[in-house]
């Protein structure tokens, strides 16, 4: 029997992890006043369901909407994170974000 062809793309959804880390950089998005682009160094990653696509020690790109305040570099962040992307890369969409000033 011939081997089965490999799928062209890997589906990441649905997935969700609880993350804790430190904001390295934050900037408001140019395409939406509600959206922030973040770089976060991860300290803790706990899978809630689905695959886990990030790991402690990594610095990852993320986006968040409707934050209560502008995130400062060095702030501690806790959030639920959903990896949105595929095998060639992606980003984390952050939900239920909690920030603690540096």
Q: What is the pLDDT of residues 40-78, one digit of tens each?
A: 999 999 999 998 999 999 999 999 999 988 899 999 999
> What is d(CA 62, CA 54) in angstroms, rounded to the nearest whole number?
11
- Tell me the torsion sign for CA atoms 19, 55, 53, 73: positive
**pLDDT band (50, 70, 90) for residue 38:** very high
CATH of the domain spanning 16-100, picked from 3.30.450.40, 3.40.30.10, 2.40.50.120, 1.10.760.10: 2.40.50.120
Domain-wise residue ranges, the chain: 16-100
């Amino acid at each position: 029997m011939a081997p089965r062809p490999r799928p062209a793309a890997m589906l990441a959804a649905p997935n969700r992890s609880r993350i804790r880390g430190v904001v390295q950089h934050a900037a408001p998005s140019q395409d939406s006043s509600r959206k922030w682009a973040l770089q976060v160094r991860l300290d803790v990653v706990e899978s809630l369901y689905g695959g886990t696509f990030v790991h402690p020690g990594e610095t990852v790109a993320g986006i968040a909407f409707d934050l209560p305040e502008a995130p400062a570099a060095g702030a501690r962040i806790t959030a639920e994170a959903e990896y949105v992307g595929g095998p060639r890369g992606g980003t984390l969409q952050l939900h239920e974000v909690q920030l603690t000033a540096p």
